[in-house]
């Protein structure tokens, strides 16, 4: 039955009166947030969108059991409150799932709200068709979303809001679904939020992904942060006091406060630097916001920097000047790291209120401040590069996604042309990337470069501040090896295009050879026959087939085994091979030798299935793991924190299999430990005695290197499970002179 409260129709099949009131309360909160932006007629449009979405989703509930309409309402709230979007985006957010999940069509939306809103909703509508198992639906989906960027960047901003709300409400989902969505988020959506300037959203996405992918580590760091909160607050106040006094004395209009770093960034530091939680120096950052007139912004920020460095000694190599060279997503600030009280390094960020607005709200704030600006901002240039890349990109989805990540979602460096113009490039870019960035013709003829007046090869990796002059030759042309030297999408696309053109020329010879052979056996040179041959030779495309015929990789001698019906080719039936038992993935498989398969990974059907352990991360019982169905090697088991896990789950979520360990103490697993400590007499004897003697753990291999009083050892041991490994680590750390013990992945 429809519910009418204050003339608003909630056509919801709800039993609970409280739920109806909750929906209306959320809608009213939405209107309150938009109050200052509402123009005449906007309220009517918003109500129409809300009623249409509520009606469309009236029988639907989320996995948590709550009414589905609360999701689009929450996404709309994120768009307004956390991204700073307006009325039209709010309407799109309310309707974003209607076309995919309900009977509403794009035509209905266009009729009610016009072409602009219909186009954005179309961009937000996911691909529902069943795709080939070798294609990643996520990558296809993402490619489609990015293609709409050419028309309207709001699609991506609403999509980020949608993803953030899904991440916030994922507790009711199955474990494998949580892993898939978290991986996809940290692999693509968090970097995209970062590049859109939405730092808070990026941080929250990373933290939430870690909560599901590495729950134990997440809880450990969260607890440590909670336990040290009081002492951290005291330290921040002590640090701020002298700076605040000086700034007040000079008469600055400012805010100063400390904020904790995200759990994900603290974990990244711990892994990268190989230190304990207590040794991560920048658990928090001090932020100073200055209220300054537009023409005095830089000057005021540098004055504040001067006051800070008078009070505390700075680390020169940790100065980041994004005032002189803002990031392409519009981010401007001064970052410095100074030595605070008690010998602790502290990061200080200096921005104006305007810069902070752009740092918090990203693209939406950029649009607001852009009004009246005559010059094209770096954000606009970045968008222009993306549009250019999307327009010329016809690669498959996974290649596209990888190119996009390396070109547009990484951190940047800035370099100079011979005339002193600044160019932004992704980290890892080479002289060849720069050459293609100048012009396709320059890139294609590039034979080398001069960086800071010194001759370097085309593969030279550039650093911020480099000045580059490209050297060309009319005789030069791209080759396949060049693809290993470039990271930018533009360079990769142009090299591939050139190589494809050359391939086509060579393939023409193959076409002639094939035509003659087909005529000889009475078969037509038709598309159907070409496809039959591609399938037989396991080749992706006709172009590749003709190219391999021309280059003599395929000599067509198997053609005599084909049969011809009319003018159609029929491939010979393949001889059925018995698959290698080790790589069979069959839920009904019952192994004969119980001893070999005593350690079992359980699938959803709880039947015993064969598997292999991934060499990239060597999981052991007790590790948080997932199963991945490979194309050629059956089921492989990876740790959820494996270096390859994020990529596999983000690109091929449909191949993830839920897994758990069976209890078994008979089988041992090889794993590695890195031990660092003081080089003392008898230290090796103490370590080996503890491992082999006291704990009775088998050592497979051991290497020790000592230098300047410090030793570093790598020990490979056989353990039964994670508990046994943790017991070993604790015992080693208790030995005198041992500084750290860390598990490492054996290659």
Q: Which residues are catalytic?
A: 100-101
User: Which tokens is 413 given?
Assistant: 């460096």
Q: If you ran DSSP here, which 8-state letter would residue 16 be given?
A: -
Q: Which residues contact 740 (CB under 8 A, 6 or more apart)?
A: 274, 275, 276, 674, 675, 676, 677, 733
d(CA 229, CA 644): 34
Query: At 245, is the secondary structure helix, strand, or coil?
Result: helix
d(CA 551, CA 622): 52
d(CA 573, CA 553): 22
Query: At 356, is the secondary structure helix, strand, or coil?
Result: helix
H-helix or E-strand spanning residue 350: strand 345-352
User: Which tokens is 611 given?
Assistant: 């598997």
Show the DSSP H helices in 283-377 as ranges.
297-311, 353-361, 363-370
Instruction: State the DSSP string of 641-683.
Output: T-TTHHHHHHH-GGGEE---BPP-SS--EEEEEEEEEE--TTH
Using an 8 Å Cβ cutoff, are 437 and 405 in contact?
A: no
User: Which tokens is 95 given?
Assistant: 């309707």
Using an 8 Å Cβ cutoff, are 617 and 611 in contact?
A: no
CB atoms under 10 Å from CB of 198, counted, come to: 29
Q: Which residues contact 280 (CB under 8 A, 6 or more apart)?
A: 266, 269, 270, 273
CB atoms under 10 Å from CB of 222, counted, come to: 15
Query: Which residues are registered as beta bridge partners of 677?
Result: 711, 738
Using an 8 Å Cβ cutoff, are 116 and 88 in contact?
A: yes
Query: Which residues are registered as beta bridge partners of 740?
Result: 676
Query: At 458, is the secondary structure helix, strand, or coil?
Result: coil
User: Which tokens is 155 given?
Assistant: 């699609």
Instruction: Give the end-to-end CA distance of the chain in Å, rounded to a whole number.
Output: 63
Using an 8 Å Cβ cutoff, are 720 and 668 in contact?
A: yes
- Closest CA relative to residue 55, chosen from 8, 118, 115: 8
Using an 8 Å Cβ cutoff, are 389 and 493 in contact?
A: yes
Maximum CA extent, the chain: 96
d(CA 512, CA 11): 67
Going from the C-alpha of 310 to that of each of 242, 303, 734, the distances in angstroms are 10, 11, 43
CA–chain centroid gap for 517, Å, is 49
Place of tokens 């760091």: 221
Q: What are the phi and psi torsion angles at 369 (to 5°)?
A: -80, -15
């Amino acid at each position: 039955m429809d519910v009418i409260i204050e003339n608003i129709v909630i056509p919801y099949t709800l039993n609970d009166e409280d739920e109806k009131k909750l929906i209306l309360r959320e809608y009213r909160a939405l209107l309150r947030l938009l109050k200052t932006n509402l123009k005449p007629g906007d309220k009517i449009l918003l109500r129409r969108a809300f009623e249409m979405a509520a009606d469309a989703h009236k029988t639907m509930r989320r996995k948590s059991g709550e009414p589905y309409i609360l999701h689009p309402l929450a996404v709309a709230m994120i768009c307004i409150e956390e991204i700073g979007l307006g009325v039209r985006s709010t309407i799109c957010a309310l309707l974003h799932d209607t076309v995919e999940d309900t009977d509403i069509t794009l035509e209905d939306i266009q009729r009610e709200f016009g072409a602009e809103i219909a186009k954005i909703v179309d961009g937000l509508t996911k691909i529902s068709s069943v795709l080939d198992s070798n294609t990643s639906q996520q990558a296809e989906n993402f490619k489609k979303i990015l293609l709409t960027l050419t028309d309207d960047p709001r699609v991506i901003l609403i999509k980020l809001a949608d993803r953030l709300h899904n991440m916030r409400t994922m507790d009711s989902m199955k474990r494998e679904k949580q892993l898939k969505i978290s991986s996809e988020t940290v692999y693509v959506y968090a970097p995209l939020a970062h590049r859109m300037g939405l730092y808070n959203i990026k941080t929250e996405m990373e933290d939430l992904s870690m909560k599901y992918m590495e729950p134990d580590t997440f809880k450990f760091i969260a607890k440590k942060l909670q336990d040290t909160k009081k002492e951290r607050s005291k330290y921040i106040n002590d640090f701020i006091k002298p700076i605040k006094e000086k700034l007040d004395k000079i008469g600055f209009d400012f805010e100063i406060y400390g904020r904790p770093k995200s759990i994900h960034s603290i974990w990244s530091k711990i892994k990268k630097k190989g230190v304990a939680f207590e040794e991560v120096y920048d658990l928090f950052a001090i932020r100073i916001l200055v209220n300054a007139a537009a023409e005095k912004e830089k000057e005021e920020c540098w004055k504040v920097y001067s006051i800070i460095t008078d009070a505390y000694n700075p680390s020169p190599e940790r100065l980041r000047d994004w005032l002189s060279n803002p990031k392409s997503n519009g981010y401007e600030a001064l970052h410095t790291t100074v030595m605070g009280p008690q010998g602790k390094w502290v990061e200080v960020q200096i921005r104006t209120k305007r810069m902070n607005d752009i740092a918090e709200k990203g693209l939406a704030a950029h649009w607001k401040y852009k009004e009246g600006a005559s010059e094209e901002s770096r954000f606009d240039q970045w968008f222009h590069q993306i549009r250019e890349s999307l327009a010329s990109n016809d690669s498959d989805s996974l290649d596209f996604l990888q190119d996009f990540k390396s070109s547009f979602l990484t951190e940047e460096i800035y370099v100079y042309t011979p005339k002193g113009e600044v160019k932004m490039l992704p980290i890892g870019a080479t002289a060849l990337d720069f050459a293609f960035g100048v012009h396709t013709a320059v890139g294609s003829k590039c034979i080398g470069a001069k960086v800071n007046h010194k001759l370097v090869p085309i593969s030279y990796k550039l650093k911020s501040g480099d000045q580059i002059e490209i050297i060309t030759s009319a005789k030069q042309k791209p080759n396949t090896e060049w693809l290993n030297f470039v990271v930018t999408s533009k360079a990769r696309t142009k090299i591939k295009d050139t190589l494809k053109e050359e391939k086509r020329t060579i393939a023409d010879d193959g076409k002639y050879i094939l035509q003659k052979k087909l005529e000889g056996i009475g078969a037509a040179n038709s598309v159907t026959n070409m496809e039959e041959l591609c399938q037989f030779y396991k080749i992706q495309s006709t172009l590749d087939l003709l190219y391999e015929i021309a280059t003599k990789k395929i000599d067509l001698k198997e053609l005599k085994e084909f049969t011809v019906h009319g003018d159609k080719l029929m491939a010979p039936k393949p001889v059925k091979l018995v698959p290698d038992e080790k790589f069979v993935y069959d839920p009904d498989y019952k192994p004969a030798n119980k001893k070999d398969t005593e350690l079992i990974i359980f699938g959803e059907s709880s039947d015993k299935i064969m598997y292999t352990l991934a060499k990239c991360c060597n999981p052991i019982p007790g590790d948080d793991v997932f199963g991945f169905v490979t194309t050629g090697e059956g089921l492989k088991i990876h740790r959820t924190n494996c270096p390859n896990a994020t990529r596999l789950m983000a690109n091929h979520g449909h191949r993830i299999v839920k897994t758990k360990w069976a209890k078994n103490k008979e089988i041992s697993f090889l794993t590695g430990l890195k031990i660092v400590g003081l080089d003392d007499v008898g230290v090796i004897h103490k370590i080996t005695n503890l491992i082999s003697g006291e704990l009775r753990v088998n050592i497979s291999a051991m290497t020790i290197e000592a230098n300047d009083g410090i030793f570093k050892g790598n020990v490979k041991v056989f353990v039964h499970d994670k508990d046994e490994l943790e017991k070993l680590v604790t015992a080693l750390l208790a030995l005198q002179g041992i500084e750290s013990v860390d598990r490492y992945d054996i290659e």
